[in-house]
Structures are given as structure tokens and as C-alpha cells.
A and B are shown apart, each in its own frame.
Chain A
Amino acid sequence: MAIIALHQVSKRYPGGFEALKAVSFSVESGEMLFLTGHSGAGKTTLLKLIAAIERANGGTVLVNGQNVSSMRSSAIPYLRRNLGLVFQGQKLLYDRSVFDNVMLPLIVTGQPYREAARRARAALDKVGLLTREKANPVTLSGGEQQRLCVARAVVNRPAILLADEPTASLDAAYADEIMEMFYAFHQVGVTVLVATHDQQLIGKYRKRVLMLDHGRLQ
């Protein structure tokens, strides 16, 4: 069953720039796939439409069978609780510890504290940051910060993981590490959609690749 389905989706930004033109594709539950294309091809816009951060001007965006493009704004938080987002420039909060950063999604969704703490530690363990839980994110390296973002994205056990250039600012070793994590989540049944322009990284995995060119799917 398709967990994500886009049909004839277009997105035009105020000012007239057409980011996406008649894009259609679907993603099976549990699938892992890459979204690639030159910079400005519309990768980020596509992910934003799925996460209801932007609204499509035409077509339908179905996530879990719900039409995201016509969703009431009060329903959007509940959609996002099924999504793990690793976005470019997504901020860590530097006024609290690594542990508290990972706790935030659980507190927001109202998990009991004890259970939440257990899951936060499990997520930190998965990305290898359990020993740094009391540290401030500022003291982490770039790779560690990105791993912290991944931990925060998966701590709520989302069905879908969306990542926008998760390896952009990392050297090859760190990038591999992050991608391996995504692959591991895919293997336990999470649907993973990664936008990246790193062809080398894509080549390592035999997965479906969506290619965007000036807002059109090739």
C-alpha cells in the first residue's frame, strides 16, 4: 500500500517561481528511496509539501491516506507526529542538554516522563551519543550534531523519515555513518525518503531514485 502518493502536484511560490510542475509518484510502506537533482530542482519543496510545511497549489498529496494539501491546520500537528524530519538548518536548542533536545518531541506529544526518558536514551544509544547526554549541543562536532538531529527525528518512532541533504556539511566518513543509520531504520520497517545530490552515496545502495529537473520528475 502506498504510504505517500503525489498526483499532479504543482507548487508556485509567491513571485511566480514554479518549484514543482505536475509531479506524480508514490512510495510503498517500508520503502527506502532517494530524491536527487541539481540544487533548486525542487527537492526541498517536495519534502515540505509532504510534511505540510508548504501547501501545494494544485494536485493532491496523500500521506497515510490523508490529503495533506487540504488538511485543516489543527490536524497538521497529528500528521507530523508520524513523520521524522531531518531538515537542513534544522536547529538544535542550545539552551538545554543533548538529552533534553531528544526529549522535546516526546514531551510535545505528551508521553509520560519515565517512558519518554527511556525512549530518549534508547534513541541516543542508537546514534552513539548516550555518553554525551548531559553535554550542550554546542560542544558536539558537526557529525555528532547531525546524529543528534537523527535521534530527535526517530525518537517518536515515526512511520516515515524525511531527510533533506542530511550529509551536506559532513565529510565522507560521517556521511556514510548517517546513511547507514537511515538504512538501519529502513530495515526495521520505517519508510525513508532522503533528498541528496551526492551520487556516490546513492550508488552504494540499490534503491529507487527519483530525479527532479527544474521542478519536473524525470
Chain B
Amino acid sequence: MRVWLQHHRLSLAQTTARLSNSPFATTLNVLAIGVALALPFGVYCMLSNLESLSRKISVDPQLTVFLARDAAKAEVAAVETRLRGARGVRAVRFISRDAALADLGRAGGMQEVIASLPQNPLPDAFVVTLATSDPILADRLELEFKGLPKVAYVQADSAWVRRLDALLRLGRTGVVLLAGLLGLALVAVTFNTIRLQILTQRDEIELCRLIGATHAYIRRPFFYLGSLLGMLGGVAALGIVGAGLAFLNRDLGALAQLYGADLRLAFPNPQEMGAVLGSAAVLGWLGAYISVSRHLLEAPRR
């Protein structure tokens, strides 16, 4: 156990020494990995921000249910009971046709038009507020209300929410694809770096084999190197995304002031940052693993 710990400590020390001995190459490698990770992570952050924005705006999704003009009082009451009884409905507000007409009359310049009408052309209506902004719920209720007797038309003002939702989902798929592709790039970069490192240490590896080093001992420093490269790349990616968000926030602040709104892009939370660092380290390890199994096993037992 102590031997094992000592070996790990030594490997780690060797690896960090190796990285700091060639600062230029290390920096370039880390930057390459960082940029590759920053792209999907940056897009992900923008999407998260958009999503929280859309949630904030559509806090009260509503359906407006217009009744047929010939609906009798009892029929209106029956529809109201059904609306109030439906699941997922938070509030129901009745707007009578007279109230609607009065509302319209209050709008400037409409009085004369209204006065010239032989009768009130407006129907009774209910404004139904939904409990959640779930677009599936809105769809279901819209369909259900359309089927009620004496209901002429149901207008969903959640259509744009659905469209945004669909767009965001498309964006998410894009992020997954981008992340997969650039994750592959990360694996390739570490693969190549480790390959070069193995080549430059060929003599040492051969010698270690001859003096009784186990396979695990020989591979260990390369695994550390891969993971460490990935992790440093992850840190670079966080830095790039953080700086980008800070830049955007500065410009957005000016824009938001013009509109009198408070618009700010949120920075990624600790869990998200941890996930980026963790997956970068794992991908780096993977690149090292592939490289080591190819280039160390390939070498003849000399």
C-alpha cells in the first residue's frame, strides 16, 4: 500500500515536472483542449440562460375560451364548472360579452363604431390560467376545452412558448453533437501528445522493463499526463467561457438599461464546472489509455 502510494506520488511529480519543463508545448496543448471544450460549454451556457429567461416570461400561461354567441346562461355556467374542474387549471376568470364591449369602448375612438352596431358582436369568454407552463398540458387542455358544448374557439397564447421550447430542444441536441465531436478532438489531442511522450521516453521505458518494472508502473505516468492535460484544458475552457460571458454581460447591461429591464447572463454553477473538469479529465485519460495500449504494447519485448 505504501509502495503503491509512493509510486503514485512519484508519477504525479514526474508528470507535473514534465509539463512544466516544456511550458510552450504544454500551453498550446492546453489551449487546443480548452477551445475544443469551450465551444460546446459556451453554447450550453447560452441555452441555459435562454431557458431560464423563457421560464421567467411565461410564468402565467393562459388559454382564452370563447363561447358561442347563442350560449344560454345555464350553458355558460356548465362550461365554467367544467373549466374549474379540469386538472392543471389554476384560475378561471369570466369576461361577459357586455364587459368585453365596455372594455373595447374604453379604447380610444371606438365608441362611435360600437354605437353604430345593431347588437353586441362579442361572445362571452373565460380566461383560464394554467398551473404550469408545460406545453403538453396546454395542448391537452386546449383540445379538451374545444370539445365542450357551446365553446366556439380556444386561443392558446402559449404557442410561442412551445416554439421557443422546440428551438431550445434543437439547440440542446446541437450541443450534445458538438460536445461529442469536440470530445473526440480532445481524445485525439491527448492521444497524440502521449504518443510523442512515449517516443521521447523510449529508452527509459525499455530500461524500466529490463529492471523489472510492471506494466502498471510503466503506464501510470502517461495516464496522469493525459488526465492532467484534460483537466488543465477544462480549466482553460472555464476561463474562456467565463471571460466570454463577462464580456457579453457588459454589453447586455447597456442594452438592458435602454429597455429598463434587468438582463444578465448567469455564470455556470459549481456542479456544471465540476462536470466540465471531470469529463475533460476522463476524456484525457481515455486518450492516454488508447495511446498507451497502442504504443507500449506494440513495442517488442526487448
Q: Which residues of A contact B (CB under 8 A)?
A: 51-54, 73-74, 76-81, 83, 85, 87, 90-91, 93, 104-105, 107-110, 112-113, 152, 156
CB distance from A61 to the nearest CB of B (A): 15
A83 to B210, CA, bound (A): 9
Known: A81-B212, A104-B208, A109-B211. 19 other contacts (CB 8 A): A52-B301, A53-B210, A53-B301, A73-B215, A73-B301, A74-B214, A77-B212, A77-B215, A79-B212, A80-B211, A83-B212, A85-B211, A90-B207, A91-B203, A108-B211, A110-B3, A110-B6, A110-B7, A112-B2
A53 to B207, CA, bound (A): 12
Residue in B closest to A106 when the chains form the complex, CB atoms: B211
A107 to B7, CA, bound (A): 8
CB distance from B293 to the nearest CB of A (A): 14
CB distance from B197 to the nearest CB of A (A): 13
Partner of A93, one of B6, B204, B209, B217: B204
Partner of A113, one of B6, B204, B210: B6
Partner of B210, one of A74, A80, A93: A80
**B256 contacts the other chain (Cβ, under 8 Å)?**
no
In chain B, positions 242-273 with a C-beta closer than 8 Å to chain A are none
Flag if B212 contacts A108 (CB, 8 Å): yes
**B166 contacts the other chain (Cβ, under 8 Å)?**
no
A12 to B4, CA, bound (A): 39
**B10 contacts the other chain (Cβ, under 8 Å)?**
yes
CB distance from B15 to the nearest CB of A (A): 15
A21 to B112, CA, bound (A): 120
Flag if A53 contacts B302 (CB, 8 Å): yes
A108 to B207, CA, bound (A): 11
Flag if A91 contacts B10 (CB, 8 Å): no
Flag if A156 contacts B2 (CB, 8 Å): no
Q: Which residues of B contact A (CB under 8 A)?
A: 2-4, 6-7, 10, 203-204, 206-215, 217, 301-302
For this complex, 14 residue pairs linking A to B, each with C-beta atoms less than 8 Å apart, are: A52-B301, A53-B301, A53-B302, A76-B301, A77-B209, A91-B207, A93-B204, A104-B208, A104-B211, A105-B212, A108-B213, A109-B211, A110-B4, A152-B211
Flag if A104 contacts B207 (CB, 8 Å): yes
> What chain A residues lie within 8 Å of B208 (beta carbons)?
104, 108
> What chain A residues lie within 8 Å of B214 (beta carbons)?
74, 77
A107 to B10, CA, bound (A): 9
CB distance from A46 to the nearest CB of B (A): 16
Flag if A85 contacts B204 (CB, 8 Å): no
Partner of A87, one of B6, B203, B210, B215: B210
- A109 with B212: in contact, given A53-B302, A73-B301 (CB under 8 Å)? yes
CB distance from A28 to the nearest CB of B (A): 24
Flag if A77 contacts B213 (CB, 8 Å): yes
Top 8 nearest A-B pairs (CB, nearest first) are A110-B3, A81-B212, A80-B212, A105-B211, A108-B213, A77-B212, A77-B214, A91-B203
CB distance from B11 to the nearest CB of A (A): 11
A80 to B206, CA, bound (A): 13
